[in-house]
Structures are given as structure tokens and as C-alpha cells.
Chains A and B, each alone.
Chain A
Amino acid sequence: MQPSRGIPLAARVALHTILAGLFLGITPHASYAQAPSTLPKSWNDAVAKLGDEVAAAVSPAAVALKVNNISSLDALYAGAVEAAVRGQLQRHSFSFAPENTAAAQSAIRLQLSLSESAGEYVWVMQVLSDQSDTASSPVIIVAASKADSADAGADEQSLSLEKRFVWKQPERVLDFALLKDATSGELSLLVLGTNRLSIYKPTGSQWQLSRTSPMPQATPPSRDPQGTINLKEGRISLNGFECFGDSDLAGVLRCRGLKPSHNLAGAQMKIPGFLSSLSTTLAEKCLGEFVFLFTAESDWTQSDSIQGRLTKGIPLPLVPAGNTLEFDGPVIALQSESVGSSARAVVRNLKTDEYEAYIVTATCGN
């Protein structure tokens, strides 16, 4: 890896991933962080319903609106929702009394609470008056679906990590890969599950299942199945089997069994301070130093993160570098690409109970 001045040396796979993300729109919520005034349609519908029901309950007049965000929505989104609600009320001929004015004293008080339930955002508008207690105040409640949080922006640090959401599904994902056809330039997404390899092709803004190849099964199945896709060698390793195919792994796979074992220990190398982290080393260096990615020290019941560390070599210190990427669940697999400065991460999102695939790309700064 080289400094980001000039053309970044992102590897082929990483570049394809970024392009896939841009052209396929597979990070649909990333744009909200930059332009929060654009709400998802379901949110706009919820805001419109709030406005309609307030208008049905109260005659158009001067109102004083207070907003209280008690949900996990960040300030950016909460502000966008508030702006949309204000706009909706104005469309219903409500006017807003400036705070701390005589007009505000006589205005109808509206309290908007941005809350959330176990499954969705819940936005509550209370029409308050001095005469009525909370229990008898008109209450309007609407639901809005939860959206993925936006990616954190990269800052100006020596190493900048960026995650790009690629795929999610309820079934376990062991590994995945993005592949560009050398002749047609068409992208494919390979998703390795516990019992099959699924190949998706892009259609419009979606990935469409193109074909699946069954994978051999260990008997009895493992509770902690592991598998990797090695595009360079055209090889898939899964649960004690090795499967080989064409260079794009799209054709027939030839599998052979390896020695079965429950032993998950494998070869080990101890790095003090990182006893229970997943780690991988990126293929490219940053400013002449090796780049390691480490997950946090947690187990599979907790949220997780990935941070980069630089070292000139082992056993020299691994120095933290750049930003930390946060995830809503444990990173259960972390594989570096064979070339370039990116890695594949599989996350089990504890909030949605789905498995998510991300490409983590490191960019070397000044």
C-alpha cells in the first residue's frame, strides 16, 4: 500500500467491490449520512401520517414543537425527521411560534418523541394542553422501519479504514467474494454458506441468484462451520472438504475430503493483548509497515469493531492507526485478500440476526 496521493493502489478485488457498491447501490443508506434531508420512503410516509393525524386532531394554528430523541437514531437523522415533520405541519397550514415569545405561550404545544420498539422506530406526537394531564392528551403514534446506520466517514489519519456493505442474509455466511469476469467485465458475487455456494449476478440495483452449487456436508454437522473462498487458487475449503473448480468457481466443483477433526485450535501464534481477537494481515504495506486488522476482544454475544495496527515487524509493537469500524455484532470471519489492501469481514448482526458481508478497505494517508 502506498500513500493516497496520486492514484491509490487499491487492489483489483477491492476496486471491483467499490465499483459494485457505487453502481449497484448496495449501500443504500450510506448517502443519508451525507444528505439526511432525503428520508427513506417509509419514513416519509410515517411523517406524512403524523402530519395528517395532527391536522385531524387540531385545527391549524400556531404551534410550539419540541422534539425529544430517545431512540438510537443519531442526531443527523433525528434532525432530518424533525425537519420533515415541521415541513409536513406547515403543509397543513400550521405555523411555528418562535420560542420564548408571547406567541409561544399561547401556542398549542406539540411534543414529538422519537422512540423505538423491539422491531421498529416509533414516533409519538403528543398534543399537550394545560388543562389535560398526560393520560388524556391526544397521542398520535406511527411506526417507521429501522435502517442500517451509515458508515462512519474516514478521517485524516495515517491509516483510514472503510467498510462497504456487500450482502446480508438470514442463513450463515462463511465467506464471500466479488469477482469480475475478465472478458465481459460482468461482476459476480459468490456467497459461501454452510451447505452451498451461491452465485449472484447484478440486475439493476439488486443481486439476482444465478446458480447454486451444493457443498459436501460433514456428518454430523459442525456447530462452528468454517469455510473460505480462495479465488486465486480456485479453491473452496469447507468443513473438512476442499473443492476445486474453474477460475471463477462458477462451474462444477470437484471436492475431496480432508481428515475430519473437531479440533479447532490449529496453528497458533500468540500476540500479547490480542488473545481473543480475529486478525489478518493485509497484502500491501502502508508507509513501509505491515498492516494488521484486529477485531475487538469480545465474544459472539457482543458488538464488535475492526481497527488497523501498523508494525515494522514482529515482535516490534503493533501501533494502533486510524479509525475504528464499528459493527452491530461479532465479526465471525476476517480474511485478507491475496492482493491489495482489503479484507473480507462476515458479521453476525445481533440486532437483525442476519449475517452481513463487508469489504474492509485500508487507505494509507499522509
Chain B
Amino acid sequence: MLRRLAVISALAVVALAALPARSARRPRYGGTLRVEIGPAVASLDPDVEATTPEEAAAKLQIDSLIFDHRDADGEFAGAAGSGAFRVTAFEAGKRVVLAANEEFREGRPFVDAVEIAMGRGAHERLLDLELSKTDLTEIAPQDARRAAEQGVRVSVAQPDELLALVFVNGNARSNAGPPNQVAEQALSLAIDRVAIVNFILQKTGEPAGGLLPQWSSGTAFLFPAGSPTTADLEHAKELWKQIAPSGGLVLGYDSADPLEQTVAERIVVNAKEAGMAVRAHAIPVAGASLGSSRGAAGQATHVDVELVRWRMNSPLPGAALKDFLARIYSGPLAGVEAGAFPEAASPEDIYKSQRAVLNTYRVVPLVWLPQVYGLSSRVRDWKTPGPGENWPLADVWLIADVESGVQ
């Protein structure tokens, strides 16, 4: 009996050794990936312009799936359907179904199809994820921790979206005429960025002192972003006294963005603690200025300072800062001569350019926000897209109901 067992055992090992080194880790073809998004895309026609930045971003993601690639100028190339997927059904603002392109140049996607439900609210999306009615959806950073505690599989990227205050050109207390950015500096000193991260974002994010995150630039630590000290608050009070008779500041925020609203209200509290008068004011910004500062909206509703969310377009600090500087020198620092920013900027160039902007206090970084996604348990090889990247849905695959074993 023992001898027989030994023989069987040896045969099993030999059989195992003879098998190729493959396993269930290898991707599997098939299945339909269910995605839910907040924006409602009205048309996939490239000539039809999106009405909100969110719709434009969603349309961009869908385009990246159905077009072969992007040209150097950023335009999608090839015919619709030449990409990893082709559109098989589209209901404006509600639903789009994509099928795998068998002939795709880079190889057929692993999933057979992608179903994207559009116009789904944040709460609905989370609920659907918990009920396994969807496989992939974006989660607001402030909801990430609660979702994880409820058992949702959460994928958090490196923080790449800057939430900042920008002082609106031409509106910044023009009647009072504050000398040398006194109000700006006072407000910057008074804001408790750590509290915003800890309490509003539930620690999903990082306090921001510079225009680039530490993981990208390596020098963010040179721009401190801690809680204000007693000395900071005293300094803020002294600065504000210089211009106090001129009245308060109006802080604008996107009326459709609950995070901006909460942060704005928090800033009002921080300012009050430093003896400053700041009033939060909701701004309807739909379509005001896609992908850039909401300067135009700010002027229409007469705010002094507004909250903006700027997403990095590249993980590389030089490229990302160049994009931010273009926004800054056409917005809050319009009319100010920008220093030369070299194409191959060194870490020192990048530091100095940030310092030049921040010394004006016209842009006040607050926090870095990550992109957060919720995933169902059957999703594999999802890599949260970094700055400038699109959803990698062609690489995603779905596990079958029963896990395979070592092959």
C-alpha cells in the first residue's frame, strides 16, 4: 500500500512538473464588464460638444475605447470602432454597449462586451456595487473610506487632482485695494488643510502646499501644508486688520460639487477663527469653461476667490506643471509675466516656478485628491489610470464563477 502511494505521489509530481508554468493568474477571455458613470453623454458624435466638463471627460473615456489611438495633437485617429471596442448600442444619456473588436491591432480585449450605464448618481453607483449589479464605478474621494468599510473593493490611485483656491482676477477686492496680496496671504495662513483631509476627506487625500504632489515632484515637502499654528493665526489676524474695514471675501464653489461645498464651508469657519469675514457662495458652472479654471463663472457672479479642481495631465512633474502654469498665467495671474519654463525642466526649475506662483498667494493649494474606483470581486488586472491615462478596459478580465487552479 505504501509503495503504491509512493508511486502515485511520484507520478503526480512528475505530471505537475511536466505541465507548463501557467495558472489562473493568466487572463481569461469572455464576460461582460458592467460600468456605471455619473455623467450622461448625450452624443458620441465628435462634432457634438459636451455641455459639462464631466460629460466631456466621460466622452473622452468612451472615445479612447472605440478609436485606435490618439495623434500627436491629441485628436483620436481612425474610424469609430477601430479601437479595442465598437459601439453596438447607444441610448443618449442612459446607456452605451461596446463589443470587443476581434481585429484590434493590439489584440482582442479579454471581455466580450462593456455595458456603461450613464447618469447614475454617486449613491446609486455605490449601492449597485454593493449589490454586485455593477463591476466598476468611480467613487468620490470623500466616500472612499466609508465604501471600504462597507466591504466594497476600492482602488485608489496616487493623488493627482489639486483642489485649490484661486483669486479671481479683477474681482479681488478692487474697491478696497488691498496692498500686496494681504487678504490672500491671510486666508492662506488661516486654512487648516490637515483638518480638511482628516475630517472631510476621511484621510483619502493629502494636504497640499505646492502645485505638484510629492510622488511626482519629490519637492512638495518644501511647501509645508500643516495645520496653522497659533503664530500663523495671529499673523493672519494682523494682516486682515490692515484691510478689515473693506468688508468680507466672497468664496465661490461649484454648486454641483458636494466636496467643494463642504470644503468652502470649512474654509469659512477657519477664516472666522482668524478674525476674517469670508462668505461661501454657490456658482452654477455647467459648461462655463471645460477643463480649466472657472474664472468666467467667477466674474459673472462676482466672487473674490473660488475653489478649483485641476487634474494633472501627466505623472511627469515638468509636463504637469506646464499645464497648470498655463491655466494660472491665463487666470489668476493673467497679466503677470511668467518666467521661462524650459522644456526639459530640472527639479530645481520646477521648484522655482512653483515658488514664484505661490509667493503671490493668488493660488492657494489645499489638498491633493486621488481618483478612486470601486470594483466587483470578479474584476482582474484593473490598473487605476494615472494622470493622462484612460480606463484600461481592454486589459481587464473577469474571473469565472469558480476559480481555476494551478495549471
Contact = CB atoms under 8 A, between A and B. Distances in A.
B122 to A, nearest CB: 25
A336 B21 contact: yes
Interface stretch (A15-23, A182-190, A264-272): A264-272
B16 interface: yes
Interface in A57-106: 70-71
A277 interface: yes
A290 B13 contact: yes
Q: Looking at chain A's contact residues, is the secondary structure mostly helix, strand, loop, or mixed?
A: loop
Contact of B12 (A120, A265, A314): A314
Given A143-B347, A279-B23, A268 B218 contact: no
A323 interface: no
Interface string A112-131: 01011111111010100000
B104 A115 contact: no
Interface string A124-141: 101000000011000111
Interface stretch (A25-33, A152-160, A206-214, A219-227): A219-227
B26 A299 contact: no
B109 interface: yes
A117 B26 contact: no
Interface in A310-350: 311-316, 330, 333-336
B29 interface: yes
A263 B217 CA distance: 44
B317 A313 contact: no
B47 to A, nearest CB: 30
A313 B28 contact: no
Interface residues of A, number: 64
B405 A269 contact: yes
Contact of B404 (A140, A220, A265, A312): A265
B317 A117 contact: yes
B317 A223 contact: no
A265 B407 contact: yes
A336 B317 contact: no
Of residues A223, A279, A316, which shows the largest number of chain B Cβ atoms within 10 Å of its Cβ? A223
Contact of A124 (B10, B110, B219, B383): B219
Interface residues of B, number: 57
Contacts of A312: 9
A315 B21 contact: no
A70 B109 CA distance: 40
Contacts of B109: 223
Interface string B378-401: 001111000000000011000000
A194 B382 CA distance: 23
A278 B21 contact: yes
Nearest to A294: B406
A221 B13 contact: no
Contact of B10 (A116, A278, A313): A313
B295 to A, nearest CB: 27
B221 A268 contact: no
B24 interface: yes
Contacts of A335: 20-21
Contacts of A262: 29, 108
B107 A223 contact: yes
A298 B381 CA distance: 9
Contact of A275 (B19, B105, B403): B403
Interface in B15-47: 15-17, 19-29
Interface in A258-299: 262-271, 274-281, 283, 290, 295, 298-299
Nearest to B9: A313
A269 B16 contact: yes
Nearest to A266: B407
B339 interface: no
B13 A269 contact: no
Interface string B289-331: 0000000000000000000000000011100000000000000
Nearest to A298: B25
Contact of A118 (B13, B221, B317, B406): B317
Contact of A279 (B21, B315, B348): B21
B222 interface: yes
A134 B222 CA distance: 7
Given A118-B216, A266-B407, A333-B21, 4 more contacts: A117-B218, A118-B316, A124-B218, A264-B22
Interface of A: 70-71, 113, 115-122, 124, 126, 134-135, 139-143, 220-226, 228, 262-271, 274-281, 283, 290, 295, 298-301, 311-316, 330, 333-336
21 contacts: A71-B218, A116-B218, A117-B317, A124-B218, A135-B355, A221-B105, A223-B107, A223-B108, A225-B107, A269-B16, A269-B19, A275-B23, A275-B24, A275-B405, A276-B23, A277-B406, A278-B22, A299-B25, A311-B13, A313-B10, A313-B12
Q: Closest 5 A-B residue pairs measured CB to CB?
A: A270-B405, A313-B9, A223-B107, A122-B218, A117-B218
Interface of B: 6, 9-10, 12-13, 15-17, 19-29, 102-110, 214-219, 221-222, 224, 315-317, 346-348, 351, 355, 359, 380-383, 394-395, 403-407
